[in-house]
């Protein structure tokens, strides 16, 4: 893996690989600390393709529909959320029309904990979740590659600038989960999980993950015999086999992000270089 020139002091929070050679990295931080890099040679070299110029811009998460079309979400530099989109593989980026989204509440934004506050799906679908307003949480959804958006309130509460939705995961076009919580209260598990069965048009409370504080990352396991998903947090990891209605704890290690492959292998990462692999089968993890 090659070094990203000039990025030694930056915080990398999201990566999206399109194939073995072609991938994007996202850094987070205020204004110019938020950047996007691209590699076309399996990470031997990286090229900066976008840097935030707005003084209050702050990248949280990024996703791609295909090798040409991708989108990145930033906290609102004003009353409008900032979504940047590329349709040419990252060569150029343009802002999604702010009038296509409902205005942000004061201080409303997302959390860059695992890069999964925004996710893309088939046929131009995408979703992002919010928090930090102290008012409510919302899930925004699009079915036309970000041209237009609809927002729905989620039952996950936001009571402070450190609470709300942290991560989204979708099994298919209709069934998905939003997870979060209150980051500063590791003893609290209330309000972690919301479920949708209509593509994000409506949301209902799901089961208690058993994870204290806030769930940082989540992922459905592709190809599992039942709707199986994993959730990770600084307070541990948990899993469900019924789409989020009930959960079982796996361990109490500190994880920030998780991903799963079609063969049932899942990987979780956390501070201090922690990497864990879990194999999910019909008999369990």
Q: What is the pLDDT of residue 135?
A: 94
Mark whether 59 and 115 lie in a shared domain: no
Q: What is the pLDDT of residue 10?
A: 83
Model confidence at 1: pLDDT above 60: no
Residue 18 placed within a domain: yes
Residue 111 placed within a domain: yes
Model confidence at 220: pLDDT above 90: yes
User: Given its phi and psi angles, is residue 123 left (phi above 0), alpha (psi -120 to 50 degrees) or beta?
Assistant: left
94-113 pLDDT, tens digit each: 999 999 999 999 999 999 98
Q: What is the mean pLDDT of residues 156-171?
A: 95
Mark whether 144 and 244 lie in a shared domain: yes
CATH number at residue 161: 2.130.10.10
Residue pair 141/150 in contact by the 8 Å Cβ criterion: yes
Q: What is the mean pLDDT of residues 216-242?
A: 94
Residue 74 placed within a domain: no
- Total count of domains within the chain: 2
Model confidence at 253: pLDDT above 80: yes
Q: What is the pLDDT of residue 55?
A: 87
Mark whether 52 and 135 lie in a shared domain: no
Place of tokens 């928090």: 131
Confidence of residue 261 (pLDDT cuts 50, 70, 90): confident
Mark whether 115 and 89 lie in a shared domain: no
Distances (CA, A) of 96 to 29, 80, 85, 89, 188: 20, 10, 7, 16, 36
Q: What is the pLDDT of residue 263?
A: 82
Residue 183 placed within a domain: yes
Q: What is the mean pLDDT of residues 44-68?
A: 94
Share of residues in the chain with pLDDT > 90 (%): 80
Residue 70 placed within a domain: no
Domain that holds residue 163: 105-279
Nearest to 196 by CA among 171, 172, 177, 211: 177
Q: What is the pLDDT of residue 76?
A: 79
82-97 pLDDT, tens digit each: 999 999 999 999 999 9
Mark whether 35 and 116 lie in a shared domain: no
Mark whether 246 and 266 lie in a shared domain: yes
Mean pLDDT of the chain: 92
User: Given its phi and psi angles, is residue 168 left (phi above 0), alpha (psi -120 to 50 degrees) or beta?
Assistant: beta
Q: What is the mean pLDDT of residues 136-145?
A: 98
Residue 59 placed within a domain: yes
Q: What is the pLDDT of residue 281?
A: 65
Mark whether 220 and 89 lie in a shared domain: no
């Amino acid at each position: 893996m090659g070094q990203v020139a000039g990025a030694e002091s930056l915080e990398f929070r999201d990566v999206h690989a399109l194939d073995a050679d072609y991938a994007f990295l996202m850094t987070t931080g205020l204004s110019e600390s938020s950047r996007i890099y691209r590699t076309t040679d399996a990470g031997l070299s990286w090229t900066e393709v976008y840097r935030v110029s707005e003084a209050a811009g702050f990248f949280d998460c990024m996703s791609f529909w295909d090798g040409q079309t991708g989108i990145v979400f930033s906290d609102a530099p004003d009353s409008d959320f900032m979504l940047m989109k590329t349709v040419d593989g990252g060569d150029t980026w343009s802002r999604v029309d702010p009038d296509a989204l409902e205005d942000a509440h004061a201080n409303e934004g997302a959390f860059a904990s695992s890069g999964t506050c925004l996710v893309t799906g088939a046929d131009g679908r995408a979703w992002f979740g919010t928090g930090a307003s102290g008012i409510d949480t919302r899930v925004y959804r699009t079915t036309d590659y970000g041209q237009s958006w609809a927002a729905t309130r989620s039952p996950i509460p936001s009571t402070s600038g450190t609470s709300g939705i942290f991560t989204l995961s979708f099994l298919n076009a209709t069934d998905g989960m939003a997870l979060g919580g209150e980051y500063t209260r590791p003893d609290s598990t209330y309000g972690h999980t919301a479920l949708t069965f209509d593509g994000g048009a409506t949301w209902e409370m799901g089961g208690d993950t058993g994870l204290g504080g806030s769930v940082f990352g989540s992922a459905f396991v592709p190809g599992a015999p039942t709707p199986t998903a994993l959730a990770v947090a600084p307070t541990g990891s948990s899993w469900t086999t019924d789409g989020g209605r009930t959960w079982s704890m796996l361990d109490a290690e500190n994880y920030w992000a998780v991903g799963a492959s079609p063969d049932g292998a899942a990987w979780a990462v956390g501070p201090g270089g922690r990497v864990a692999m879990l194999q999910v089968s019909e008999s369990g993890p």
